[in-house]
Amino acid sequence: MARILDGKAIAKQVKDELRQRVSQLRETGLVPKLVVVLVGDDAASASYVRSKSRAAQDVGIDAEVIQMPANIAEDELIRALERLNEDNTVHAVLVQLPLPAHLDTDRILMHVHPAKDVDGFHPVNIGRYATGTPLLWPCTTAGILEILERSEIPIAGRTAVIVGRSRIVGWPTAQLLLAHNATVIQCHRQTVNLREYTRQADILVAAAGQPSLIGPDDVKVGATVIDVGINRVGGHLVGDVDFAAVEEKAGAITPVPGGVGPLTVAMLMKNTVHLAEIHQREKEGFR
């Protein structure tokens, strides 16, 4: 039976540590502030935003949610982002995805200033982690590292297989594991004979958004299985991994819910505090 990697407990540790850092910042007169821009009224997005606000409150970060109508014009949204870029009390800006179809997501994300880009989606920040000088890592990817490190699962020299290559999760996670000296195999929708690759994984990351994509025959005995999927099936949340069957074979596994999800939110807070600390250091440098 696999060791269950308890994301909720790890996220709590992360948040406990952050509370300390936030209170130190507050003592110097700086209140870390995160602004979440929510466009439209997608129920799932609204619920993610609520859990982000709750986590912020929990660690002492000031979180503001700016709600925009679903039919907002692209230029108006960009102007709102530029106002946030100029606002010195704001350290972190997040545009909740997905955006309504009439908006050009790439164009909009380019208008979040790289120094406030808490999600790490701006091309400058992608370039930074791609060239080995990361300002920060996207939250889910950072959360996966936090789970592996705090669970003392070694990365260097091991074979990591990532199923999925999305800009938000799969691709940055492959880059992060490569930066930590794993041998990385990235699989995607066009991969022929997925199982041939996943069975080689010491660390298997499933980020495809397909329930039951990974079953016991897809996993090597003793592997660490990180399930990033969040799929709604019959009113329940399930991952991309057939948990009950894979648990018998894996060495360690994250549950859904209660695995990667809580870490994604916790790392949003950690990235916010990181950006606020940099802001503070730069301000001191100018004195």
Residue 97 binds to ligand ADP (criterion: CB under 6 A)? no
Cis preceding linkage at 98, omega within 30: yes
Residues 216-235 vs ligand ADP: string with x where CB under 6 A?
--------------------
Which of 78, 110, 135, 194 forms a contact with ligand ADP (CB under 6 A)?
194
Query: Which residue is nearest to ligand ADP, using beta carbons?
Result: 166
List 108, 187, 203, 266, residue binding ligand ADP (CB under 6 A):
187
The answer to the question of whether 53 is labelled as a binding residue is no
**Is 67 among the residues known to form the active site?**
no
Residue 150: CB minimum distance to ligand ADP, A: 22
Binding map of ligand ADP across residues 118-157, x = CB under 6 A, - = no contact: ----------------------------------------
- Complex with ligand ADP: residue 22 or 99, whichever CB lies closer: 99
Out of 138, 164, 255, 261, the only residue in the binding site for ligand ADP (CB under 6 A) is 164
Cβ closest to ligand ADP, residue 194 vs residue 237: 194
Q: Is 109 in the site for ligand ADP (CB under 6 A)?
A: no
Catalytic option among 15, 33, 62, 96: 96
Q: Between 95 and 207, whose beta carbon lies closer to ligand ADP?
A: 207
Closer residue to ligand ADP in complex, CB, 84/168: 168
Which residue is catalytic, options 52, 116, 220, 249? 52
**Tokens representing 165?**
């290559």
Which positions from 44 through 63 interact with ligand ADP, judged by CB under 6 A?
none
What is the Cα–Cα distance from 72 to 200, expressed in whole angstroms? 47
Task: Report, in Å, the least distance between residue 140 CB and ligand ADP.
Answer: 8
CA distance 140 to 266: 9
Whether 220 is catalytic: no
Tokens 């507050």 found at: 26
The reply to whether 13 belongs to the active site is: no
124 touches 148 (CB < 8 A): no
- 163 forms part of the interface with ligand ADP (CB under 6 A): yes
Least CB distance to ligand ADP at residue 186 (A): 9
- The answer to whether 121 touches 151, Cβ cutoff 8 Å, is no
Is residue 170 near ligand ADP by the rule CB under 6 A?
Answer: yes
Q: What is the 3-state secondary structure (H, E, C) of the chain?
A: CCEECCHHHHHHHHHHHHHHHHHHHHHCCCCCEEEEEEECCCHHHHHHHHHHHHHHHHHCCEEEEEEECCCCCHHHHHHHHHHHHHCCCCCEEEECCCCCCCCCHHHHHCCCCHHHECCCCCHHHHHHHHCCCCCCCCHHHHHHHHHHHHCCCCCCCCEEEEECCCCCCHHHHHHHHHHCCCEEEEECCCCCCHHHHHCCCCEEEECCCCCCCECHHHCCCCCEEEECCCEEECCEEECCECHHHHCCCCCEECCCCCCHHHHHHHHHHHHHHHHHHHHHHHHHHCC
List interacting residues with ligand ADP (CB under 6 A): 163-166, 168-170, 187-189, 191, 194, 207-210, 213
Which residues are identified as catalytic? Answer: 52, 96, 119
Give the residue numbers of the binding site for NADP(+): 164-166, 230
